[in-house]
Structure 1
């Protein structure tokens, strides 16, 4: 990986069977190397490499980490608890960001960022709706950006919640 680049491994808990080494079921104790293999396609070279947990850890902060400048590694997961603690420690993962459903304060920030609104007569209704309906900030932002009319954008949030009920 060259310097000034970004590596993204989505759903790392599914991509590599990086089972927590503290867990009771330890596949590496059963003569099973399946847990340590992931096939990564390198499109430019059309070849495949196998990556182990040890290899990934070395890549993140071992010898490979000194090669290149300004590299960012991003790992996503829906199950942080499944990841080995050695992968989560500071220096390997310096920042952990939980991207959950939209909260009222996030909605207000999105309304200000997208519509320039700090207050609106529909905010109270929308706040009650946000407490009931699980909607991501991305879904809210998408709805707020659809049209330039603040009233219409906010009304769209009510339609978004009714689509989710179906």
Structure 2
């Protein structure tokens, strides 16, 4: 639990009505995150200001709650990953930019560790490989082109590149 939530948790632990509201709101946030394909822990809910306020008796502002929920790192990563999988080139470019931010400030002795972390994050987002090139060649066109390639190794490499063989 973050240190800045210590006072809030003292209030929750000393008030049965607040504790009851907090439990219900935490369950709601966990269920809402699950609907987005993300698993939240109860401590993650402490980072949603709107449900902390609602637990202490304020009315829940649904729009503010949704914005805060979707901006949690776990959910924003899931949303970014989904957008990349759907082919959003702007989100993909922003993700690549974020991965490479501060790269020039890395100490040389930690460069390999940073590169491994960046590659891991890129794989998690689905951007470790370049976006598939859009071209109009059909499978039959590619097969016809392969007939004209004389070198067997080059022919095999092209067939693999074009996903004609595995």
Question: What's the TM-score, normalizing by structure 2?
Answer: 0.21
Structure with the largest fraction of strand: 1
Structure with the largest fraction of helix: 2
Question: What's the TM-score, normalizing by structure 1?
Answer: 0.21
